[in-house]
Structure 1
Amino acid sequence: MSTPQRPIDSGFGERSTADDVLDGIDLSGKLAIVTGGYSGLGLETVRSLARAGARVIVPARRPDTARDALAGIDGAEVARLDLADLADVHAFARGVLDSGRDVDLLINNAGVMACPETRVGPGWEAQFAVNHLGHHALTNLLWPALARAGARVVAVSSGAHWRSGIRWDDPQFTRGYDKWLAYGQAKTANALFALHLDTLGQSHGVRAFSLNPGPILTPLQRHLPRAEMVDAGWIDEEGNGIDPTFKTPEQGAATQVWAATSPRLAGHGGVYCQDCDIAPADGVAAHARDPEQAARLWALSAELTGLDAFATPGR
Structure 2
Amino acid sequence: MTSKIVIVAGGTTGMGRATALARAARGDDVTVIGRSRRDLPSSVRFLRADLSSIAEVERVSSDIASRHDRVDALGLFANRVQPKRTETADGLKYTFALYYLSRYLLAARLAPLMSAASVIVNVSGVGTTKGGIHWDDPQLRARYGAIRAQLQAGRANDLLGVAHAGDARYVLYHPGFTRSGLDGHPNPLVRGVLKTLALFAARPVARSVAPVVEWIEHPPADRLTTSDRGEPVDLSGKEADARRLTTYTQGLVTAAR
With the length of structure 2 as denominator, give the TM-score of the two structures.
0.88
Relative to structure 1, the CA distance from residue 136 to residue 82 in structure 2 (aligned partners, 3 Å threshold; closer, same or farther) is same
> CA separation in 1, counterparts of 2:22 and 2:237?
29
Q: CA deviation at 1:221?
A: 4.9
Identify which of structures 1 and 2 has the higher relative contact order when contacts are C-alpha pairs closer than 8 Å and 6+ apart: 1
What is residue 272 of structure 1 aligned with on the other side? Answer: 226
Is the 8 Å Cα contact of residues 154 and 209 (structure 1) preserved in structure 2? Answer: yes
> CA separation in 1, counterparts of 2:17 and 2:148?
27
> CA separation in 2, counterparts of 1:192 and 1:82?
23
> CA separation in 2, counterparts of 1:208 and 1:182?
24
> CA separation in 2, counterparts of 1:87 and 1:106?
19
Q: CA deviation at 1:103?
A: 0.5
What is residue 41 of structure 2 aligned with on the other side? Answer: 71
Is the 8 Å Cα contact of residues 216 and 252 (structure 1) preserved in structure 2? Answer: yes
What is residue 172 of structure 1 aligned with on the other side? Answer: 139
Amino acid corresponding to residue 214 of structure 1 in structure 2: G
Query: Within the alignment, does 1:37 sit opposite 2:8 as a pair?
Result: no
* 2:211 corresponds to which of 255, 268, 278: 255
Q: CA deviation at 1:190?
A: 1.4
Q: CA deviation at 1:250?
A: 1.0
Amino acid corresponding to residue 304 of structure 1 in structure 2: L
Q: CA RMSD, aligned part only?
A: 2.5
* 2:181 corresponds to which of 209, 216, 219: 219
Alpha-carbon displacement from aligned partner over 1:46-87 (angstroms, at most 9, x marks no partner): 11111222111001222xxx1x42125x3x101122111111
With the length of structure 1 as denominator, give the TM-score of the two structures.
0.73
Alpha-carbon displacement from aligned partner over 1:18-67 (angstroms, at most 9, x marks no partner): xxxxxxxx5x32100001111011111011111222111001222xxx1x
Q: CA deviation at 1:259?
A: 3.4
Larger radius of gyration: 1
> CA separation in 2, counterparts of 1:117 and 1:225?
14
> CA separation in 1, counterparts of 2:83 and 2:213?
27
Relative to structure 1, the CA distance from residue 121 to residue 247 in structure 2 (aligned partners, 3 Å threshold; closer, same or farther) is same
Amino acid corresponding to residue 163 of structure 1 in structure 2: K
Relative to structure 1, the CA distance from residue 161 to residue 302 in structure 2 (aligned partners, 3 Å threshold; closer, same or farther) is farther
Relative to structure 1, the CA distance from residue 252 to residue 209 in structure 2 (aligned partners, 3 Å threshold; closer, same or farther) is same
Q: CA deviation at 1:302?
A: 1.4
What is residue 58 of structure 1 aligned with on the other side? Answer: 32
Instruction: Name stretches of at least 5 consecutive residues in structure 2 with no aligned partner.
Output: none
> CA separation in 1, counterparts of 2:254 and 2:99?
17
Q: CA deviation at 1:260?
A: 3.1
What is residue 207 of structure 1 aligned with on the other side? Answer: 169
- Count residues with an aligned counterpart: 255
Query: Within the alignment, does 1:243 sit opposite 2:184 as a pair?
Result: no
% same residue = 25
